Amino acid sequence: MSSRSVMKSEFKSTVHTSAPKYEPICWLSIS
């Protein structure tokens, strides 16, 4: 569970840094 949280954090950071406009899609995919 903790490793998944780390993946979520890293993925969100990557998406937010490279393409902030995809953040809502990122949240939908994770949730």
Q: Which residues contact 29 (CB under 8 A, 6 or more apart)?
A: none
Backbone conformation region of residue 19, classed left if phi is above 0, alpha if psi is from -120 to 50, else beta: beta
DSSP character for 29? H
pTM (predicted TM-score): 0.27
Does residue 19 or residue 6 have the better pLDDT?
A: 6
**Whole domain around residue 15: which residue ranges?**
1-31
pLDDT tens sequence across 3-17: 777 777 777 766 556
pLDDT band at 28 (very low <50, low <70, confident <90, very high): low
Using CA atoms, how far apart are residues 28 and 22, in angstroms rounded to an integer?
A: 10
Task: Supply the pLDDT for residue 16.
Answer: 58
Number of domains in the chain: 1
Tokens of 9: 């954090």
What is the percent of the chain with per-residue pLDDT over 90, rounded to a whole number? 0
Residue 25 has pLDDT above 70, yes or no: no
Q: Is the dihedral of CA 11, 27, 6, 17 positive or negative?
A: positive
